[in-house]
Amino acid sequence: MVQIGYTMMTEQAGPRELVEHVVRAEEAGFDFSVTSDHYFPWLREQGHAPYAWAVLGAAAQATTRIPLMTYVTCPTFRYHPAVVAQKAATLQLLSQGRFRLGLGSGESLNEHVTGEGWPTVDVRHERFEEAVEIITALLEGGHLTYHGEHFQVDSAKLWDLPERPPQIGIAVSGEQSCALAGHYADLVIATEPKKELLDLFDQHGGEGKPRVGQLPVSFDPDRETAVRRAHEQFRWFGLGWKVNAELPHPDSFSSATQFVRPDDVAASIPCGDDPEAFVEAVRPYAEAGFTEVALVQIGGESQHTFLEWSERILLPELRNAFG
């Protein structure tokens, strides 16, 4: 059984529109939702990057059933981890227990704005592990004083704590992050259907825990329009996470993808209105062992037609295929 989620992609819509979209996704019957947390869009063509946590607060009040989740927040540069813990606790209260905190080690695209530079991946993982320790301790309650190599916390305490702290998810891309996730996380997050990542997560203590994937799709009754939109706004997707984490600006992604063709994008992203193509795109995640897959409909202006089609056609087809 695979739960099907909806992505509020902050890079492609404004804050009011994002809330409208998740309300409609709840009505359409999506099982859960996730929200990106960016300071920049990947490409200028996407055109947006509102503050995800304000959007989530509004979404928590505008919806009643659908779970909410950051996918993902980096707690090491733009945000101090003590502040991330406070935000997560507040979101869990506002949503009445529907919030999960997805965390990752970040991308230069969003984190360079603080002017602290972008260190090597080993240093980023060191900072990330300290951040996770701080967030976990604060969500458990009590005062925290913490002296790490990268972070300091002086007698912090969260004064508004939910009865049940939000589950923590950690994004993985290799053995180092899988080890971290297996030790600290309540669930694992990955953007590619790689079974080897889930196996590593299990080996480090993650066995039996949820695993959440994400899949970009481009619905449109006219397939050529769907392919054109996917190429315009999502041609960066095929670069891979090791590249995506290092590029500092939308123009960097534009340069890196200047030779990517529409057919290249269509080969990896389902485009058009054939539900079977979308089902087959989800299948590798199901076969790898993912328990949840969040769909990203490409293009902010196409969300309502996608959600209507999903309610009538796509979600029934996916549930028939995957439970």
200, burial (CB in 10 Å: exposed 0-12, middle 13-18, buried 19+):
buried
The answer to whether 163 is a known catalytic residue is no
Q: Report the distance separating Cα 228 and Cα 238, nearest Å.
A: 16
Q: Are 45 and 56 in contact (CB under 8 A)?
A: no
Sequence-distant (≥ 6) Cβ neighbours of residue 104 within 8 angstroms: 72, 73, 74, 128, 170, 171, 189
Determine which one of 17, 26, 107, 130 is catalytic.
107
The answer to whether 38 is a known catalytic residue is yes
Q: Report the distance separating Cα 136 and Cα 18, nearest Å.
A: 29
Q: Within 10 Å of residue 145's Cβ, how many Cβ atoms?
A: 10
Determine which one of 21, 26, 38, 129 is catalytic.
38
The residue type found at 235 is: R
* C-alpha distances out from residue 248 to 111, 242, 254, Å: 9, 13, 11
Q: Report the distance separating Cα 116 and Cα 96, nearest Å.
A: 36
User: Could you tell me which residues are beta bridge partners of residue 304?
Assistant: none
Per the structure block, which two tokens stand in for 31?
């099982």
Three-class DSSP category at 37: coil
Sequence-distant (≥ 6) Cβ neighbours of residue 159 within 8 angstroms: none
* C-alpha distances out from residue 148 to 78, 131, 132, 153, Å: 18, 9, 12, 9
Pairing mode of beta strands 167-171, 99-103 = parallel
126 half-sphere exposure, CB direction, 13 A CA radius = 9
Q: Report the distance separating Cα 13 and Cα 222, nearest Å.
A: 22
Q: Report the distance separating Cα 22 and Cα 7, nearest Å.
A: 8
Q: Report the distance separating Cα 69 and Cα 8, nearest Å.
A: 10
**Looking at the annotation, which residues are catalytic?**
38, 107
